[in-house]
Amino acid sequence: MDPAPVVLINAFEVPEGQDEAFIAGWERARTFLSKQPGYISTRLHRSVSPNADFRFVNVALWQSPQAFQAATSHPEFRSIPVPFKFHPSLYEVVRE
């Protein structure tokens, strides 16, 4: 049996007025990552609360931590500028 996928949860600090620039960068990163081995899916969420600390949160599924690490260590991915603070972490599902 294959191990369960891991979940990337990445919260971003995006100042007001910079949504379009942030989303353009996210799209560029997604285009690269979606072609990498082990990628399953991703969704970008925007807070409905105007005072949220993290206005955007990315939730992605990867086949393994190793697949995620390999993709995000790739020089092409590293060359994508990220002018916003971000807080990524990998998780495993423990209950459904």
User: Mean pLDDT in runs of 10 for the chain (96 residues)?
Assistant: 89 95 97 98 96 96 98 96 95 93
Fold category of 10-91 in CATH = Alpha-Beta Plaits (3.30.70)
At 19 the pLDDT is: 96
**Separation in Å, CA 38 to CA 33, 61, 64, 70, 73:** 9, 9, 7, 9, 14
Chain centroid to Cα 86, Å, comes to 9
At 1 the pLDDT is: 62
Q: If you ran DSSP here, which 8-state letter would residue 34 be given?
A: T
Measured torsion, CA atoms of residues 58, 63, 66, 71, in degrees rounded to the nearest 10: -50
At 50 the pLDDT is: 84
At 3 the pLDDT is: 80
Domain spans, the chain? 10-91
Spatial separation of the C-alpha atoms in residues 38 and 46, rounded to whole Å: 25
